Amino acid sequence: MNGHKEEEHDFEIGLAVPKRKVHEGEGGGGGDGGESCVEFLVDEFKKVGFIVERVIGVSDEFIKLAAPLEVLGRAAAELKVKKPTHIGMDLQFDWEEVDAFVRQPDGMLFSWCERFHFYRHLIYGIVNRGQSTVTLKCHDREIQWEPGEPLLQRLEAESIVKLVFPLHVEAKRKRLLRVWALNWWDFTDQPIDEIYSYFGTKMAVYFSFLGMYTRWMLFPAGLGFVVHLVDFGPFQLLVLPIFFISIVLWAVMFSQFWKRKNSALLSRWQISYSVGAYPGYDLGFKVPGKDRSSLQSSVELISKWGRDKKNDKERFQREEWFGTLMRFRNDVIIILSIICLQLPFELAYAHLYEVVESDYMKFGLTVIYLFLIQYFTRIGGKISVQLINNENNANREYRADSLVYKVFGLYFMQSYIGLFYHALLHRNFKTLRQVLIQRLIVSEVLENLWENSFPYLKYSYKKYKVRRKSKKEKGSPTGKIQFKSRVEKEYLKPTYSASIGEELEDGLFDDLLELTLQFGMIMMFACAFPLAFAFAALNNVTEIRTDALKLLVMMKRPVPRAAATIGAWLNIFQFLIVMSICTNSVLLVCLYDKEGKWRIEPGLAAILVMEHILLLIKFGFSRFVPEEPAWVRANRVKNATQAHEMYSKQLLRSISGGERTSNEIMKVE
């Protein structure tokens, strides 16, 4: 099975290069000895060990690469990648001892994240090893390949290699389309393991989260439905508080049980995730040069940590505090600018919307508002990215988290401040409900449509442009040009990227943002509109399949990322739960105290006490149910114990025997 799979050689990476013109192709082949650089590149790829296939498309030529297992293994050894072994320890990969390493659940030796990492390493690792500059000819231009320079970097700079992108593997894509994207009757069930092996960890974790969230959502959806429709007669006053308590408990349990599920997933995929264990060890990067240097510096920092402990300690403390200070400054800047700039703007809009009576005016106002808000958010995102680049964050994931927090601050204000305005200041529950329904139904349906149609439009437009161009060149205005090669179609499809801060985040950012804003909306105003949960559940069931379709059909195959959790977003979920405890308490007070007497009568005091008890439960629950299921822990501990017991004697001998040697090695490092 394994052998079979690996012999198939799926082409997983594509490169877009300019098309050989007919006359040039001939001239290049047997000309003055200067090779065409595309030919040269293909030769270099073959030398590395890649299996290369060239496809000529309508306007460009494509090089498809596949790597035999051995080539990938070599790359893994060069990169000193650590992998889990049968004794349970993570050890540095070594091709000679390949049998010692545990295989993926799908039978592959390397996960897709790792494979992609190795591909990039190999592709960008083609360096001019000679002493002299090599001259390459391409499209009548001459390119100087300096010694020591990576070939791909040169060619990208000269825009001869237009794009390096991961390719869909047709068989697996079709299978996923069948068992996942088009399998509507499974509702929230998804083939998570297959998603993992095709899209990588982060994507699989996202879809697993979405599935669990939707499944859990059915409970409050049903409850909300009952609360909305049934009249409980004399107990009507108690219904909303009880609903409030149940959904808070629901949310608290959900966030804790998700953590458990997440660690169970990681245990199944044999990913040993521990924060800070390998700082900078992150597989899913986009700009290898840049990231490797940051990894380098982190490793250097650590290896400098030598004999002179006192000094080192002080240096580390200085750096840590400087970093904390910078982050604090940036947070203050963001928070202040949100409060001083965004808050008045949002309040002005909410106020005008309330004051203006004509529906046309309202419509016009909203259009202007939407236009401005787009602009606002983009500026805010840019500033956030700028600020984060100044921060000295330990690794890419921390940087991404930091961005998430900052951008969420913007969206939080933008999405909820109007609602708060209606709910709290004006106690206008009718408008609040209207706005909620409008946002939940209209905006989510529209957003889903937009999310799925926009990439398609982009793709169609690109195809159209290419067609027109090639028609012009060929001069034959008749006959429709067909895109026959799959790789060219994929090349024209849009990338799965975030609307904000592309270099830090991929398209999951938008999807998770949408999910989080929805969660905040339904939770924070639960008491004002219990039916919202039902709408959200309905929306999420469709969201699973449309997101799947988008990934499989509309987009290029996304660059895999190694992040093992949904990271900052879970913290935001928790924050929203806390917020929702507070806001719902205020809502209940408003509903209870209709005349606006604001007297602390037993009812109000009861609400306050309830609020505090719920907050206590929120923060106490995580002590009660641990984040890691017992069997995951047992597995981990057992592995570690076994490894220790088996090899500790052997290691010891070599340490105390080679005591001096080890010290010397330490010194050299």
Site for a copy of itself in 90-149 (CB under 8 A): 90-92, 94, 96-100
CB nearer a copy of itself, residue 52 or residue 264: 264
Single out the residue of 266, 275, 90, 271 nearest to residue 629, CA to CA: 266
Range in contact with a copy of itself (rule: CB under 8 A) among 31-39, 86-94, 375-383, 443-451: 86-94
Single out the residue of 279, 228, 274 nearest to residue 528, CA to CA: 228
Residues contacting 50, CB < 8 A, separation 6+: 65, 66, 67, 71, 122
- Minimum Å gap between C-beta 67 and a copy of itself is 22
Q: Interface mask (CB under 8 A) for a copy of itself, residues 223-252, using x and -?
A: ------------------------------
Name which position in 312, 354, 502, 510 contacts a copy of itself (CB under 8 A): 312
CB nearer a copy of itself, residue 27 or residue 279: 279
Name which position in 184, 232, 328, 363 contacts a copy of itself (CB under 8 A): 328
* Amino acid (1-letter code) at residue 60: D
Range in contact with a copy of itself (rule: CB under 8 A) among 321-329, 349-357, 361-369, 538-546: 321-329
656 binds a copy of itself (CB under 8 A): yes
Full DSSP string of 69-88 = HHHHHHHHHHTT-EEEBTTS
669 binds a copy of itself (CB under 8 A): yes
Element (H, E) at 427: none
Site for a copy of itself in 526-585 (CB under 8 A): 571, 578, 582
Full DSSP string of 262-304 = HHHHHHHTT----TTSSTT--S--S-HHHHHHHHHHHHHHHHH
Q: How far apart are the first and last CA of the chain?
A: 43
Name which position in 3, 276, 475, 479 contacts a copy of itself (CB under 8 A): 276
Site for a copy of itself in 613-642 (CB under 8 A): 615-616, 619, 623-625, 629-631, 633-635, 637-638, 640-642
- Minimum Å gap between C-beta 570 and a copy of itself is 12
- Evaluate whether 162 touches 17 at the Cβ level (below 8 Å): yes
- Minimum Å gap between C-beta 300 and a copy of itself is 11
Range in contact with a copy of itself (rule: CB under 8 A) among 52-60, 241-249, 550-558, 657-665: 657-665
SS3 label, residue 557: coil
CA–CA separation, 647 and 608 (whole Å): 59
Range in contact with a copy of itself (rule: CB under 8 A) among 88-96, 287-295, 352-360, 557-565: 88-96
Q: What is the 3-class SS of 117-168, one letter each residue?
A: HHHHHHHCCCECCCCCCEEEEECCEEEEECCCCEHHHHHHHCCCCCEEEECC
87 binds a copy of itself (CB under 8 A): yes
Neighbours of 257 (CB within 10 A): 15
336 binds a copy of itself (CB under 8 A): no
- Minimum Å gap between C-beta 632 and a copy of itself is 9
Site for a copy of itself in 44-83 (CB under 8 A): 80, 82
649 binds a copy of itself (CB under 8 A): yes
1 binds a copy of itself (CB under 8 A): no
645 binds a copy of itself (CB under 8 A): yes
Angstrom distances, CA of residue 653 to CA of 91, 648, 649, 650, 658: 19, 9, 6, 5, 8
CA–CA separation, 284 and 629 (whole Å): 27
- Minimum Å gap between C-beta 335 and a copy of itself is 12
- Minimum Å gap between C-beta 441 and a copy of itself is 32
- Minimum Å gap between C-beta 512 and a copy of itself is 19
